[in-house]
Amino acid sequence: MTQPLDFKRNTAVGLDLGLVNGIKVNRNAADRRAASLANRRTVKKEYQAAWLVRAIECMDLTTLSGDDTPGRVERLCMKAMRPLRTDLMQALGLERLTTGAVCVYHEMIQPAVRILEGRLPIAAVSTAFPAGLSSLETKLREIELSVAAGATEIDIVITRQHVLTGNWQALYDEMVAYRQACGEAHVKAILATGDLVTLENVAKASWVCMMAGADFIKTSTGKEGVNATIPVSLVMVRAIRDYYEQTGFMVGYKPAGGVSTAKSALQYLTVMKEELGNEWLQPHLFRIGASSLLTDIERQLEHYVTGNYSAAHRHAQP
């Protein structure tokens, strides 16, 4: 994960149960603010093109399918290193552009390593993704094996029952163990927000994971019935903002699952800019987990350059 030399990585600060238990979320107010952000008139023309390029730079280009093959992952990696056609790059005045990372299962790390050769971060989903329902020993060993195989980022899934039963100490201890197993690899904590029932649970889980040293908090595995939403994102990024004000640590944010259009990517960029500021609109603090999003962004950028929309099938698929 490329980051400024003076960036201070989040570390475990200790579990403050009084703070966690005191968290309240005004659902109506959160929904109103989320609606105002989602419905805001978006940027246009060259400004929109610049935002879409930034979305590419902050994308975890992902394949997490049961029928993944080394060949598919190799194509994904080549697309990640060259996400736009040469003519579009030239028209936009870009000399170099890559996605933020690629995201794969453990078994697909080696094909990614062969193609990327250290040029891009490799994120591996871990800890019995997507349900997280195996022993802690098994999950920690999976992290260790993924790091040894070449993963530089680990996307873990929390045990949802800890949130649903209010066992914040268990969630904290689990997250601390995951962070330690990752070593130098950065860890993204997937909250699976669609399973957490309430926005208060989302806020509390966000705080506990950050207190335990998570480098990123992430909405979803992409496999839940409900994945990334603007209200959930608002709650999570405000938790990040408050955590930064209290501790001085900047934690990243990753919406994932269902972010498939350029319009939705712009909405999440808007949330980040409005709630956290431009400093968070960088790949070391913001990622979008996506598989099909890149195709729509490329279509929108082609329209900006040529004035015409192309069919999605004309754009290379990873």
Which residues are the active-site residues?
155, 218, 254
Distance CA 238, CA 215 (A): 16
**Helices assigned H by DSSP within the chain:** 17-21, 27-38, 45-57, 70-81, 86-92, 109-116, 136-149, 160-164, 168-182, 199-211, 230-247, 262-275, 293-306
Edge to edge, the sheet with strand 101-104 lists 252-254, 216-218, 186-190, 153-157, 122-125, 101-104, 59-62, 288-290
The closest alpha carbon to 58, from 244, 203, 265, 308, belongs to 265
Query: What is the C-alpha separation between 79 and 56, in angstroms, rounded?
Result: 11
CB 158 within 8 Å of CB 130: no
CA–CA dist 202, 258 (Å, integer):
18
- 92 contacts 49 by C-beta, under 8 angstroms: yes
Neighbours of 12 (CB within 10 A): 15
Query: Of 80, 143, 141, 73, whose CA–CA distance to 108 is shortest?
Result: 73
Q: What distance in Å separates the CA atoms of residue 136 and residue 128, rounded to the nearest whole number?
A: 10
